[in-house]
Amino acid sequence: MIENILAFETSCDDTSVAIINRSGRVLSLVSSTKDLDHEPYGGIVPEIASRNHSMSLLPLVEQAFLKAQLNWKDIQGLAVTNRPGLVGALIVGVVTAKSLAMAYNLPMIGVNHLEGHLLAPFLRDDQYAPPFEFSEPYVALAISGGHTSLYLVSGLGRYQILGSTKDDAVGEAFDKFAKMVGLGFPGGSKVDQMAQSGDPQKYQLPRSMIHEETLDMSFSGLKSAAHRLVTELGPQNVQENLSDLCASFQQAVIDVLLSKLEKAVIKTKIKNVVVTGGVSANSALRQQVEKVAQKKKWTLAIPPLRYCTDNAAMIGYAGILHLEKGEKHGWDLGPSPQSWPEDFSR
Ligand code: KG4
Ligand code: ZN
């Protein structure tokens, strides 16, 4: 029987290692994020991410064991993100997982990063547990730097995409906007902070596709409109009105996300709702989605920040569930920039 699993996440710039048990309890989670290495380039540089993973991964494995007060004899399996993501970054995790699985004679499974985000609400620790009796089916809004989609989750491995962004991911839009107004990279959390003292009604920005029935979304029009506004205002006005600009931009994004989420709930008639991915850290979004959930009597699960942003615990949980079903991958497992066709239905 699999009691504990060691998991790796290296799909983008965060290197993360976790040990978790079969009930989703996080025994240790250690991560290394080197935003400063990427900041001068205004975005993630894949080669730098890969080099950082190579240097950080094995020391993090040692830390994870120390923190959990466990050793290799307590581990019965390995899970690693192998898709989708930056191939050079994924390969570091995949090759390391394969080597360790071979050395310690353990079963290994490659996990879809997005499946990890979708299952993150089921993780638990001393401070967090999922809402009482929360279970499938549920509607999940997964919003991160690379992905923005609405899913219907009916069970393990049963994920239907209800709608997706046609262009930019929400986190990407936040990051590009932050760059435009001089807040640096990655700017989502800085926009969030600035917006807290701003007026969200001050600038009218477009809410693309908000009135359309489709659950697809688009954020490139908002980005272009924000760029035009920033250019018209000029650097001094932008600095003087920065919190209003951030609040107005942020509210345009939130309005679209909430409207599509509400439509998804109506369409599926499912009131169990998950919001996950790095952008679900946004404080205004959290407050507003909680308000809607209360009003509409949804059961809402938003994992805490440590499980919303990229982390190995969510990969471990997905991995342990698949391994328990008898699934595993062989030594031919490779990284893939995209999800596999069988991962999601439409
Ligand atoms: O899930 P994540 O850690 O990594 C990806 O898989 O992309 O998400 C990172 C994204 C970045 O674009 C970052 O700017 C955004 O999440 N983000 C936020 C906030 N915190 C992180 N966006 C808006 N408000 C925040 N508080
Ligand atoms: Zn992610």
- Digit-coded pLDDT (tens) for 77-104: 999 999 999 999 999 999 999 999 999 9
pLDDT digits (tens, 9 = 90+) for 305-342: 999 999 999 999 999 999 999 999 999 999 999 999 99
Classified as helix, coil or strand, 213 is coil
What pLDDT does 41 receive? Answer: 79
What pLDDT does 39 receive? Answer: 80
Q: Which residues surround ligand 1 with Cβ inside 6 Å?
A: 12, 144-146, 171, 174-175, 186-189, 192, 277-279, 281-282, 309-310
pLDDT digits (tens, 9 = 90+) for 274-311: 999 999 999 999 999 999 999 999 999 999 999 999 99
Structure tokens at 32: 């290394």
Cis status, amide bond into 40, omega within 30 of 0: no
What pLDDT does 177 receive? Answer: 97
Is the pLDDT confidence value at 34 over 80?
no
In this structure, the strands spanning 138-143 and 272-276 are parallel
Supply the residue whose CA is at minimum distance from atom 16 of ligand 1: 278
Domains and CATH numbers, the chain: 4-128+307-324 (3.30.420.40), 138-302 (3.30.420.40)
Mean pLDDT of the chain: 95
Q: Around ion ligand 2, which residues have CB less than 5 A away?
A: 144, 310
pLDDT digits (tens, 9 = 90+) for 214-266: 999 999 999 999 999 999 999 999 999 999 999 999 999 999 999 999 999 99
**Long-range contact pairs involving 169-172 (C-beta distance under 8 Å, separation at least 24):** 169/143, 169/144, 169/145, 169/219, 170/143, 170/144, 170/219, 170/253, 170/257, 170/279, 171/143, 171/144, 171/145, 171/146, 171/277, 171/278, 171/279, 172/145, 172/146, 172/219
What pLDDT does 185 receive? Answer: 81
CA of 234 to the centre of ligand 2 (A): 34
Is the pLDDT confidence value at 46 over 90?
no
> Which atom of ligand 1 is nearest the CA belonging to 178?
14
The ligand with the least distance to the CA atom of 281 is 1
What pLDDT does 36 receive? Answer: 77
Say what the pTM is. Answer: 0.94
Supply the residue whose CA is at minimum distance from atom 14 of ligand 1: 188
CA of 291 to the centre of ligand 2 (A): 25
Strands (E), 2-87: 4-9, 14-21, 26-33, 78-83
Cα distance between residue 19 and residue 44, in whole Å:
27
Is the alpha carbon torsion for 140, 306, 281, 237 positive or negative?
A: negative
CA of 119 to the centre of ligand 2 (A): 12
Cβ atoms of 115 and 343 within 8 Å: the answer is yes
In this structure, the strands spanning 26-33 and 14-21 are antiparallel
CA of 145 to the centre of ligand 1 (A): 5
Pocket mutation for ligand 1, best pick of 31, 183, 189 (most atoms within 8 Å of C-beta): 189
